Amino acid sequence: MRYTREELELINRTVRSWTKPPLLYRVISKTYRGQKPRILDYGAGPKALWTLWLREQGFDVTAYDIGANQTFLHDSDALKKQYDVVIASNVINVQPEKYLIKSVLKELMVGKTIYFNYPAEPRKTDISIEELEQLSKQFFIEAQCRGSIFVCRNV
């Protein structure tokens, strides 16, 4: 996917700091405890904090990000591989245009099960949760939203 310089700057500005793992990472940790899925952390952030947190718990996790957020911690070829699980925490909500949301959803198809959130803040577009759920169904066999968390399946 190609972003303009302005789009990249807008997306990369939304990196946040956390003192405890965000909800999606806690869900993954609990759901897959004792299993060994291949996980992609799409939009891992420049420090890939929660990728590293999942690795410390024994998970096989690959970090991926774009623009200024991409560092030595990230695999720039990550989207050429397949994963059991893909996490996209605070990724969809920071896309400034609907066509970029579609592009991200297409890229998330490298996973069998995809988890992403769509929190109210920050949100860069005016797409509703219901509209995003319908949009997700164009890309995945199954797409369900629980609160602001989406679980989509490709198998």
More confident residue, 112 or 4: 112
Tally of domains within the chain: 1
pLDDT of 13 higher than 70: no
Task: Please return the burial class of 15, using the count of CB atoms within 10 Å of its CB with bins 0-12, 13-18 and 19+.
Answer: middle
Q: What is the CATH number of the domain that holds 144?
A: 3.40.50.150
Domain enclosing residue 100, as ranges: 5-14+23-153
Instruction: Note the pTM of the prediction, 2 decimals.
Output: 0.87
Q: Are strands 111-117 and 83-88 parallel, antiparallel or unpaired?
A: parallel
Q: Is the pLDDT of residue 14 over 70?
A: no
pLDDT value at position 83?
A: 98
Look at residue 122 in the predicted model and tell me its pLDDT: 85
> Does residue 9 have a pLDDT over 80?
no
CA dist list (Å): 118 to 37, 88, 123: 24, 10, 8
Provide the 8-state DSSP code for 82: -
The mean of the pLDDT values for the chain is 89
Structure confidence at residue 79 as a pLDDT band (50, 70, 90)? very high
87 phi, psi to nearest 5 deg? -110, 135
Q: What is the pLDDT of residue 85?
A: 97
How far apart CA 110 and CA 72 sit, in angstroms, is: 22
For residue 36, what are the CA distances in angstroms to 58, 83, 102, 117?
A: 8, 11, 29, 23
pLDDT one-digit tens code per residue, 43-66: 999 999 999 999 999 999 999 999
The identity of residue 119, as a single letter, is: P
